[in-house]
Chains A and B, each alone.
Chain A
Amino acid sequence: MTAPYAEIVPNAASAARSGRIGDRLLSVENVSLSFGGVKAITDVSFDIRKGEIRAIIGPNGAGKTSMLNVINGFYHPQKGRITFRGKTRSKMRPFEAAYGGIARTFQNVALFRGMSALDNIMAGRTLKMKRSFFWQLLRYGPALREEVEHRKFVEEIIDFLKIQDIRRVQVGRLPYGLQKRVELGRALAMEPDLLLLDEPMAGMNVEEKEDMSRFILDVNEHFGTTIALIEHDMGVVMDLSDRVVVLDHGIKIADGTPDEVKANQAVIDAYLGVAH
């Protein structure tokens, strides 16, 4: 009881996480994608494990967003296979991905600007609604009970993201940093197994970035959500992620822990350029 307090040290976030990281959740094998003659992705393979935070980085035009679009079924690769939760496919449509438990946010916020933050996040629950559209119109009996349940979950997300004060505010009137947070909230409302974040911190100031990093770590810890993120800010990527995959001109040039990637000569060359 009287031992010095000094012994309490919070475990480094990633060290604690390593205990939770489980089996392979998604794997990408030899995927190639091209638009006409433009090769966006060439023969890329990597995997994402359950519970981890996985970053996809690379210079501009490296094919990061294309990769994300392939994962959630928006683009269909010409070659290669994608295995998600043990199911292999070469082609899938976005709504199937959504049903399958993949949620995402967008590089340029894609919210319903005329709706409140609350309604936007509620929209994320659409797939979870069991009652038919007409029942919901009636808003009576089972449909009402169901909506109350969903609302409860959404309120937890609002609490989690600390956006109680903007619950009723039209999203279009919110500053950019908060819109990003609402978008994250909508993705979370789907209770996804895999959350894809496309540059969650683009255009934010340092303080907003710190907040968003905190939220990403908390989401991962609290909900156990697996996260794949694209980010330009190297500091953020290195601090947040367990493993990093590096793309350059659509080709995978490195894959490993942040430290390994940082030391990789090919990565350094890709970012800093090489003297020819």
Chain B
Amino acid sequence: MADGPHAALNTFPKLLVRNARQFGDRPAIRHKDLGIWQTWTWRRVYDETRAYAAGLSRLGLRRGDTMAIVGGNRPRLYMSVMAAQMLGAIPVPVYADAVAEELAYVLAHAEVRFAAVEDQEQVDKIISIKERLPQLERMFYEEPRGLRDYDHSRLTPIADIIKDGAEALKDAAFAKTIDDGIANGNGDDPSIILYTSGTTGQSKGVMLTCARSVQAAVDTVMFDKLTERDVALAYLPLAWVGDHYLNYAQSLVAGFCMACPESPETIQQDLREIGPTFYFAPPRTLEQLLTRVTIRMEDASALNKWLYRTFIGIARRYGEKLLNGEPVPLIGRLLYGIGRIVLYEPLKNTLGLSRVRVAYTAGEAIGPDLFAFYRSLGLNLKQLYGQTEAFLYVTAQPDGQIYSDTVGPAMTNVDLRIADDGEVQFRSPGMFTEYFKDEAKTAEVLTADGYVKTGDAGFFDEKTGHLKIIDRSKDVGKLNNGMLFPPKYVENKLKFYPNIREVVAYGDKRDYVAVMINIDLTAVGSWAERNNVAYASYQELAGHPLVYDMIAEHVAEVNKSLASETIMAGAQVKRFLILHKELDPDDGELTRTQKVRRGFIAERYAPLVTALYDGSTEADISTQVTFEDGRKGVISARVKIRDMALEPIRAPVGKAA
């Protein structure tokens, strides 16, 4: 860090004081309002937040109290987090799109006395659940629109609190109590409670402490060499650990500027205007961006199409190597240089990514092609693996060591290990202290020697030493010969082929792994057109011998890749079939978020699963389907099963199970 020892700077409010002194005139927050980017300097953020804290103090907010923050990425809401922390109170951010039910649970569980909210929508939501929040005393709002006729006895605009606080601070004695409160901030006190989105059961309040949070952010700021000259667009949900960490915590530590978008719908335009240097996007967002580019290229002129194809080809050949600093022949450098001028830079500019120095993606497995596309354009896109319980980072890929299928080595000061059952466990500087008011859950997750159980199964890649995440631990099964069977890992590897849309893998308590595959009608259909394969229906195409041959090639490649990883070698696919119909949420085969429901499918297609394991080469199946207009019908088919040759398994080495 630029600022010497960090021992004393163990809370975020102390960092704010430092930033106001050191970077006083530099931008801290930007927000596009009425079409124009407004800038708050660090000095102004400090002044306003201090006045805000003073106002909150006069309203009765005390050390240890909790205060909810509900809304989008607005400067005043980030300042609400900061102002609460100045008083030693604990901010509890909640997702803006949380339904009243979730909101009621979190606000009641966290026993919040105050809530700072964005607008009328959130005020209405909280009023609708007020019976369940007996401790809630007062709400503060940012956007006055529509709230004029509400009873204001317990409802205050944030602007008024700041004004009131600024007035009160003129009293030197009062000002001193506020400033002393900041200076005496204790590093061991709670900094924030982040509620995890409860995919399984009720959400849990992850309690993070001040000094640990700051320390974690200091480590990653150094790791990526972030400085006060960096810029990030704060567009991720305020209540998500990713936003609180990447934008709020890192900007306070490094002193960089975070820009708040004008509205959730304008993010793409705001990205272009701000030109961030630090960028995070989940794989789904990156995929949507690429799809948009592809679609627009299809409408482009023939010349432009040709340019795009040619230079994307060149980028794929040389781009990643150049980014990784590997040797590239002169002609490659030359072609890539031309490509930068005619395509890569203009394209990145359109996407708002021209100035990005460090970009991360995380959250789910990213397809190698997708990952390579962005990297080949010269975007330093990396992967990280993290958790709310770790205050985000557990692992991250360092510059120059980037692979699409790993999440990198342990982050600075993080201890990482794989438990005997394959579960990833870590100890990190930012790790949480407890789940708020839930000792049982805390005890479940913490090991005796102070590691956190992630619930994810993983292993260290032999070649790179990087961590690879396989699946949720509870989904990982074992074959009868004791080899590991991680269904999602196998399915994802297959699904990265554009021809394959869905995969369902079986193998738990079986002799070998077998999969059922759904082909992608668009991709395979266009392949069929190019190769003069005639078909009349999805079913016919799916059963075509040439399609089987093509899919078999993909499966063979996946087997080869699995065999190269000692502990995964047993999970090679021995037999596969191509389903005669597309898996569909309407038939209950996929969840609404497009995840396969393995158990349900096993029951529904029981004759096929039996056939996969009894050696038969084909099987009859008839299933009920729901058509788009709601009518039901029955599809019958005879589905062929293909046997695959397995790659030889190398003798186990090292610590493989």
**Residues of chain A having any CB pair with chain B under 8 Å:** 1-2, 4-11, 13, 16-17, 151-152, 155-156, 158-160, 162, 164-165, 167, 214, 217-218, 221-222
Contacts and interface: CB of A to CB of B under 8 A. Distances in A.
B266 A164 contact: yes
A165 B271 CA distance: 13
A222 B153 CA distance: 21
Interface stretch (B142-150, B311-319, B515-523): B142-150
A8 B151 contact: yes
Query: Which of A16, A165, A214, A218: most chain B CB closer than 10 A?
Result: A165
A156 B145 CA distance: 12
Contact of A8 (B35, B145, B146, B150): B150
Query: Which of A2, A4, A152, A155: most chain B CB closer than 10 A?
Result: A4
Contacts of A155: 34-36
Interface stretch (B123-131, B345-353, B469-477): B123-131
Given A8-B127, A162-B263, 17 more contacts: A2-B137, A5-B133, A5-B138, A5-B154, A7-B153, A8-B155, A10-B149, A11-B149, A13-B149, A16-B149, A155-B36, A159-B34, A164-B32, A164-B263, A164-B266, A165-B266, A165-B269
A160 B144 CA distance: 11
A218 B265 contact: no
A54 B316 CA distance: 64
Contact of A221 (B33, B127, B146, B263): B146
B458 to A, nearest CB: 40
A241 B150 CA distance: 19
Given A164-B265, A165-B265, A222-B145, A5 B137 contact: yes
Contacts of B265: 164-165
Nearest to B150: A10
Contacts of A214: 146
A11 B146 CA distance: 12
B531 to A, nearest CB: 38
Interface string B1-45: 000000000000000000000000000000011111000000000
Nearest to B135: A5
B136 interface: yes
29 contacts: A5-B133, A5-B137, A6-B130, A7-B154, A8-B150, A8-B153, A8-B155, A9-B151, A10-B127, A10-B149, A10-B150, A10-B151, A11-B150, A13-B149, A17-B149, A152-B34, A155-B34, A158-B35, A159-B34, A164-B35, A164-B262, A165-B263, A165-B269, A167-B35, A221-B146, A221-B148, A221-B149, A222-B145, A222-B148
A5 B115 CA distance: 12
Q: Which 10 A-B pairs have the closest CB atoms?
A: A16-B149, A165-B265, A155-B34, A155-B35, A165-B266, A5-B136, A10-B150, A164-B262, A164-B263, A5-B130
Contacts of B155: 8
A151 B154 CA distance: 36
Contacts of A5: 130, 133-134, 136-138, 154
B60 interface: yes
A160 B263 contact: no
Nearest to B267: A165
Contacts of B136: 5
A152 B124 CA distance: 29
B137 A1 contact: yes
Interface string B486-513: 0000000000000000000000000000
Contacts of B149: 10-11, 13, 16-17, 221
Interface string B258-281: 000011011001000000000000
Contacts of B146: 214, 217-218, 221-222
Contacts of B130: 5-6, 8
Given A164-B262, A165-B266, A8 B154 contact: yes
B574 to A, nearest CB: 50
A164 B35 CA distance: 8
B145 A10 contact: no
Interface string B56-92: 0000100000000000000000000000000000000
Contacts of A6: 130-131
B35 A9 contact: no
A239 to B, nearest CB: 15
Contacts of A11: 149-151
Query: Which of A1, A2, A10, A11: most chain B CB closer than 10 A?
Result: A10
A165 B261 CA distance: 11
Given A1-B60, A10-B127, A218 B145 contact: yes
Nearest to B261: A164
Contacts of B33: 159
Contacts of A4: 134
Contacts of B127: 8-10
Nearest to A13: B149
A113 to B, nearest CB: 20
A7 to B, nearest CB: 7
Contacts of A159: 33-34
A16 B127 CA distance: 18
Nearest to A2: B137
Query: Which of B35, B134, B262, B265: most chain A CB closer than 10 A?
Result: B35
Nearest to B268: A165
Contacts of A151: 35
A8 B613 CA distance: 65
Contact of B34 (A7, A156, A162): A156
Nearest to B149: A16
A214 to B, nearest CB: 8
B145 to A, nearest CB: 6
Contacts of A1: 60, 137
A155 B153 CA distance: 32
A221 to B, nearest CB: 6
B116 to A, nearest CB: 15
A13 B246 CA distance: 41
Contacts of A164: 32, 35, 262-263, 265-266
Interface in B539-585: none
A11 B152 CA distance: 11
B135 to A, nearest CB: 8
Nearest to B146: A218
A218 B34 CA distance: 18
A117 to B, nearest CB: 12
Nearest to A9: B151
A256 B35 CA distance: 42
A152 B138 CA distance: 33
A68 B300 CA distance: 47
Contacts of B148: 221-222
Contacts of A221: 146, 148-149
A134 to B, nearest CB: 27
Contacts of A162: 263
Contacts of A167: 35
A61 to B, nearest CB: 36
A263 B35 CA distance: 48
A16 to B, nearest CB: 4
Contacts of A217: 146
Contacts of A17: 149
A185 B65 CA distance: 44
B261 to A, nearest CB: 9
Query: Which of B34, B134, B263: most chain A CB closer than 10 A?
Result: B34
B216 to A, nearest CB: 35
B68 to A, nearest CB: 13
Contacts of A152: 34
A5 B146 CA distance: 20
Nearest to B134: A4
Contacts of A7: 151, 153-154
